[in-house]
Amino acid sequence: MMSMRTKLFALALFVIAMLATPQAKAYTIDVGKFCYRYDPTTLLSVGEIGEGNVVFSNSEKIGFWVRIIDPPTEEIRIDWKDPDGITFIQNVVTPILKTGENWGIVFDYINIAETMAKNKLGIWTVKILINKEPQGTAQFQIINYDLIQQRLDDLSSHVETIQSENDLLKSQNQQLTLQLQMLQTDYATLQSQIGTSSDYQQIKSDYDDLYDDYETLGRDLGTTRMMMYASVVVAIASVGVAVYFGAIKKS
């Protein structure tokens, strides 16, 4: 039969062996999401951040929701690191167990718009630590809302300018089209008024005959009055022929 001292020594060895043997992890980090809050009844995430986990600098806050199967009893922390890799804040969180289920969640968040976080633009890293050991990592990005809005305003102004220029070009095109139609009408009218080449030859022959008569009349008439009268007649005829000749050339 073993003595009491022997039994105590054996128990001590067993405890030391148990402590030295690595314990298997009983919990499992199931899924993590960025959202605004969670439903206190279902414990499900609410207001999930869209694709890319991008939020604006004017956002009220961003939360980190993690579902854990068989949540551990060890201390759990959520560590928020800014784009420079500096811890912005680290909070101890307590698992919230789902009634009648083998899982629970932890949830933590940071304010953005009302804190210095709004000025720390870029990619943030969030870690879940269990017993001070990292067990999961996720990332999100904060971008400058004012800068994006300014770019959108500039783009909108550029579009309005292009639209205005397009409207002006349409108006000018309409005016040019109208002017072209008027010129085409005038041209058609002019063509209808212009005679044939034989008509021109006949008028020119008549002019030559008239000029010969003028020369003859000039020699025969001795008064200045008659000379002036004849000159006026010839001048009028010359102008008429010149105009008609010009019209023929244009055609």
8 A C-beta contact, residue 134 and residue 127: yes
Tell me the CATH number of domain 25-143, given options 2.60.40.420, 3.60.150.10, 2.60.40.1930, 3.10.20.30: 2.60.40.1930
Question: Block means of pLDDT (10 residues each) for the chain, length 251 residues?
Answer: 45 40 69 95 94 92 96 96 97 96 97 96 97 94 86 76 83 82 79 67 75 69 60 59 49 50
CA proximity to 72, closest of 109, 16, 24 = 24
pLDDT at 184: 79
Helix axes 145-193, 224-250, angle to 10 degrees: 130
Confidence (pTM): 0.56
pLDDT at 7: 42
Instruction: Classify burial at 21, counting beta carbons within 10 Å of its beta carbon; exposed 0-12, middle 13-18, buried 19 or more.
Output: exposed
pLDDT at 23: 47
Structural domain boundaries in the chain: 25-143, 150-250
pLDDT at 185: 83
Residues sharing a CB contact under 8 Å with residue 197, sequence separation 6 or more, in sequence order: 248
| Euclidean distance between CA atoms 66 and 77, whole angstroms | 12
pLDDT at 162: 86
CA proximity to 55, closest of 115, 152, 128, 144 = 144
